[in-house]
Amino acid sequence: MKTPRGNGAMILYYDIAPEAIGDHDDWHTHEHFPERLSIPGFRRASRWTAVAGNPRYLVMYEVSEVRVLSDGPYLERLNNPTPWTSRMMANFRGMVRGFCSVVSHSGAGFGQALLSIRYAPASGRETELREWLTPMLSGLASRPGVASSFMLEPAAQPPMTKEQGLRGKDADLPCVLLLTGYDAKSLAQIGKAQLSTAQFEKRGASVVARGDYQLHLVQTE
Q: Is the pLDDT of residue 121 over 90?
A: yes
What's this model's pTM, rounded to 2 decimal places? Answer: 0.95
* CA distances for 8 relative to 65, 69, 95, angstroms: 5, 9, 20
Instruction: Give the tens place of pLDDT for each residue, 39-70.
Output: 999 999 999 999 988 899 999 999 999 999 99
Q: Is the pLDDT of residue 97 over 80?
A: yes
Distance of alpha carbon 165 from alpha carbon 109, whole angstroms: 34
Domains of the chain: 8-220 (3.30.70.100)
| Average pLDDT over the chain, rounded to an integer | 95
